[in-house]
Amino acid sequence: MWHKIICSILLMFMMTVLKAEPVVIHDSGNTKPLQSFPQSSRYQYAATENYQPEFNGLPVITPSMSPGRVQTRTINRPFLNQPIFIVGADALSLTWLKEHRLQLKKHNATGIAVNVKTQHELEQLLQASDGLAINPVTGDKISRQLSLKHYPALVSTTRIEQ
């Protein structure tokens, strides 16, 4: 008998909750219901073909990394989705990119420019890579995590090499 009463009370409580109106936290007096706006004016985004967001993260300077010799060594980074290569805007990196771009393309590597000051320097790197993606990113965290002081370098899930 009591369980029927309790179930009835719970059912009535749930029905009132399900029919509840939203709680207004703040009403400035200028609030209008969404239905009062024409459908065509609700969401208007400029549709452009070949949209490229403009991002200029330059200059990028990584004091913990410099051009130099990188010793090949094994690492264990199983969660690295694809190989990355690390370069800077210097003669060694430009030469390395030109010599290794086919290998980098074969492995679908993505580039990180850790020391690049101007857009012109970045464009030189992009030209030397022949179409590979290179993004200007500070390399301090990568340098610490991989104990890497020099570049250019190629980092994969199992090794670091030059």
pTM, two decimals, is 0.67
Q: Report the Cα 69 to chain-centroid distance in Å.
A: 28
19: tokens are: 């029919």
**Is residue 32, in this structure, part of any structural domain at all?**
no
Pick the closest to residue 42 from 53, 33, 50, 31 (CA basis).
33
**Is residue 144, in this structure, part of any structural domain at all?**
yes
pLDDT for res 160: 97
pLDDT for res 68: 97
Count the domains in the chain.
1
**Is residue 56, in this structure, part of any structural domain at all?**
no
pLDDT for res 117: 95
pLDDT for res 32: 72
**Is residue 109, in this structure, part of any structural domain at all?**
yes
**Is residue 150, in this structure, part of any structural domain at all?**
yes
pLDDT for res 6: 79
**Is residue 25, in this structure, part of any structural domain at all?**
no
Average pLDDT over residues 104-110: 95
**Is residue 84, in this structure, part of any structural domain at all?**
yes
Q: What pLDDT, in 10s, does the model give residues 18-63?
A: 666 766 777 777 777 766 666 655 555 565 666 555 666 899 999 9
116 within 8 A of 141, measured Cβ to Cβ:
no
Look at 72 and 11; give whichever has higher pLDDT. 72
85 within 8 A of 112, measured Cβ to Cβ:
yes
* 31-35: Cβ within 8 A, 24+ apart: none
Arithmetic mean of pLDDT over the chain: 86
Domain hosting residue 122, numbered range: 66-161
Residue 82 pLDDT > 90: yes
**Is residue 40, in this structure, part of any structural domain at all?**
no
